Amino acid sequence: MIMIGMTALPPPRVIKTAIIKMDSTIISKEGIEKLLTMLPTDEEKTKILEAQQANPDIPLGSAEFFLLNLSSISEIKARLELWLFKLDFETIEVEIAEHLMDLKVGMEELKRSKTFKDIIRVLREIGNFLNSCDLKGFQLDYLSRVPEVKDTVNKHSLLQHLCQIILDRCSDTTDLHADLGGISRCAKADWDEIIRKIKKLETDCQTSWENLRAIAKHDSSTYLRNKLSDFLVDCAERIQVLKLVHDRLMNRFRKFLIYLGYSRNQAMDYKVKEFCKLISEFALEYKTVRDRLLQQQEKRANHRERHKTRGKMITEGGRFGKLDNEIGQENMNMNGTTSSTYGFSGLKSAIGYNTGDKNRQDDKNMMEALMKNPGTEKQSNGQFGSNSNLSTTGGLPGLRGRTRQSVSGTNTANGSMSEKANSSFTHNKTFTTDTEEDETMDLLLKSAMTVPKGQPPKKRTKKYGERKSFRRTRNINEEDVET
């Protein structure tokens, strides 16, 4: 065990000097704690000396040499305990002082918190309304049961209704948890352990005085003795200050509980950790519910904003309005007048876009005939007249007609003439581009082929019974093959 412990320590030749001078740069706090567990007993020291005298020529082992080296230091246990107290004192003091400061700040934060006052006031009003009474206050222990109480309709907790009322009435409130940082830290501390630490510091300081007296009997160094004595005097004063601050703070805490409505007997028995935990948990739950309600309000506001602008982007400045304007402008350029303009709105009325189901079949037949014979003008019910602004090729307005070229030589002249006419017709600036023609044609075909309401689309069914195979009906004879 000693050999294993020596691996975490500096070489044995420097350990003795470091212990006498209390040099923390050579041996750390963990090393001092380990040395306290490895100190040799009087029996071990005696046996090592007897073995060394019996066999002076045989060198000692590493463990035996290490123990003999430690035993040569006068009052080694007192030195190590005093050294360890010197290293631990500041750390323990800061830890105790931080907890005391958190409690002091936490009580001040809770006392001046406007949100906490509003919560208590609204909760009292809710209780008086539900109980049909007029009480001036209630015990703060009821805060732990607020999230558990629920209404009978929506099963919402009383805490949710409380948050909603406060958000509606008081716009300048906070989430409460951010305002009570000191209370939250005090809820995590063990206050019984703090009292034990203060008592332990006082006991260790008295023990260190005794160890210093024992060291002074064997050590002639006045510098180290004076330095250690000054340190212990300062430690004793600071420990007394910690005790005084703790006692006064506990008295202030009891007065604070009385201010919050507790009786004197309840305030004397109430633990600091229980009270801080009660307030901290309630503040955390209040913050959670409040954030959820704020998110719901934000979602509702965004939904209302989206609902106000719903459908406006489709009706204003859409694709169809732009296309209607372009076709009307082209027709105006063709005729030079605006009275006979045949735009997209005219096309819709011409093909019966807004007519009843009775006229849709006639319009459908008209469109099919128009698509089959683009060179022939159709007039039906006065929809296509002399001023309908159809092109000279018999097609729809804004569309180029196609000419059929004959293959025979007799129609070569006619074909060349039609090609020239088509070329001059194509280069006219008044006609639209291919993209606009395709879009217009798609819209016309969709409108013409629309199935009227109330009539289901016809489905094509296969008549398997009437199907006949060519191979089954044909008879192949040898004579036919020979011929």
* Residue carrying the six token digits 């309401």: 453
**Same domain membership, residue 68 and residue 17:** yes
Per residue in 368-402, pLDDT (tens digit) is 776 666 554 444 444 444 443 444 444 444 444 44
CA 312 from chain centre, in angstroms, equals: 33
- By mean pLDDT, which of 83-87, 313-317, 360-364, 384-388 is the weakest? 384-388
The reply to whether 248 falls in a domain is: yes
- Residue-range definition of the domain harbouring residue 276: 106-286
Read off the pLDDT of each residue in 107-120 and give the average, rounded to a whole number: 92
Read off the pLDDT of each residue in 138-154 and give the average, rounded to a whole number: 88
What pLDDT does residue 80 have?
92
- By mean pLDDT, which of 54-58, 145-149, 282-286, 314-318 is the weakest? 314-318
Q: CA of 381: how far to CAs of 98, 351, 364, 395, in Å?
A: 98, 11, 14, 18
What pLDDT does residue 25 have?
87
Per residue in 161-183, pLDDT (tens digit) is 999 999 988 888 888 888 899 99
Which one is predicted more confidently, 280 or 416? 280
Q: CA of 290: how far to CAs of 55, 119, 160, 455, in Å?
A: 83, 12, 8, 56
Which one is predicted more confidently, 28 or 448? 28
The reply to whether 383 falls in a domain is: no
Q: Say whether pLDDT at 298 is over 50.
A: yes
The reply to whether 165 falls in a domain is: yes
Q: Answer yes or no: are the C-beta atoms of 224 and 183 closer than 8 Å.
A: no
User: Residue 150 forms beta bridges with which residues?
Assistant: 157
**Same domain membership, residue 114 and residue 55:** no
> In total, how many domains does the chain have?
2
**Same domain membership, residue 112 and residue 247:** yes
Q: Tell which of 246, 264, 286 closes a domain.
A: 286
Token couple for 245:
């601050």
**Same domain membership, residue 135 and residue 12:** no
What pLDDT does residue 365 have?
75
Per residue in 197-221, pLDDT (tens digit) is 999 999 999 999 999 988 888 876 7
Q: Among the ranges 54-68, 91-105, 134-148, 337-351, which has the highest mean pLDDT value?
A: 91-105
| Nearest residue to 272 via CA among 254, 297, 293 | 254
Task: Work out the pLDDT band at 313, boundaries 50, 70, 90.
Answer: low
**Same domain membership, residue 131 and residue 14:** no
**Same domain membership, residue 61 and residue 122:** no
What pLDDT does residue 460 have?
56
**Same domain membership, residue 123 and residue 65:** no
The reply to whether 356 falls in a domain is: no
**Same domain membership, residue 118 and residue 58:** no
Q: Answer yes or no: are the C-beta atoms of 159 and 175 closer than 8 Å.
A: no
Q: Say whether pLDDT at 442 is over 80.
A: no
The reply to whether 391 falls in a domain is: no
Token couple for 127:
């209780």
How wide is the angle at C-alpha 479 spanned by C-alphas 478 and 480, nearest 5°? Answer: 90
Q: Tell which of 258, 286, 314 closes a domain.
A: 286
The reply to whether 227 falls in a domain is: yes
Per residue in 459-476, pLDDT (tens digit) is 555 555 555 554 555 455
What pLDDT does residue 305 have?
84
Q: What phi, psi does 157 have (nearest 5°)? A: -75, 160
**Same domain membership, residue 195 and residue 120:** yes
Which one is predicted more confidently, 460 or 55? 55
Contacts of 243 (CB under 8 A, 6+ apart): 198, 202
**Same domain membership, residue 128 and residue 244:** yes
Per residue in 84-102, pLDDT (tens digit) is 999 999 999 999 999 999 9
Which one is predicted more confidently, 362 or 331? 362
- DSSP for 77-142 reads HHHHHHHHHHHHHHHHHHHHHHHHHHHHHHHHHHHH-HHHHHHHHHHHHHHHHHHT---S---GGG
What pLDDT does residue 355 have?
45
The reply to whether 85 falls in a domain is: no
**Same domain membership, residue 111 and residue 257:** yes
**Same domain membership, residue 119 and residue 58:** no
Task: Work out the pLDDT band at 278, boundaries 50, 70, 90.
Answer: very high
What pLDDT does residue 93 have?
94
The reply to whether 137 falls in a domain is: yes
CATH number of the domain that residue 179 is part of: 1.20.58.2220
Q: Answer yes or no: are the C-beta atoms of 331 and 341 closer than 8 Å.
A: yes
Q: Tell which of 269, 286, 303 closes a domain.
A: 286
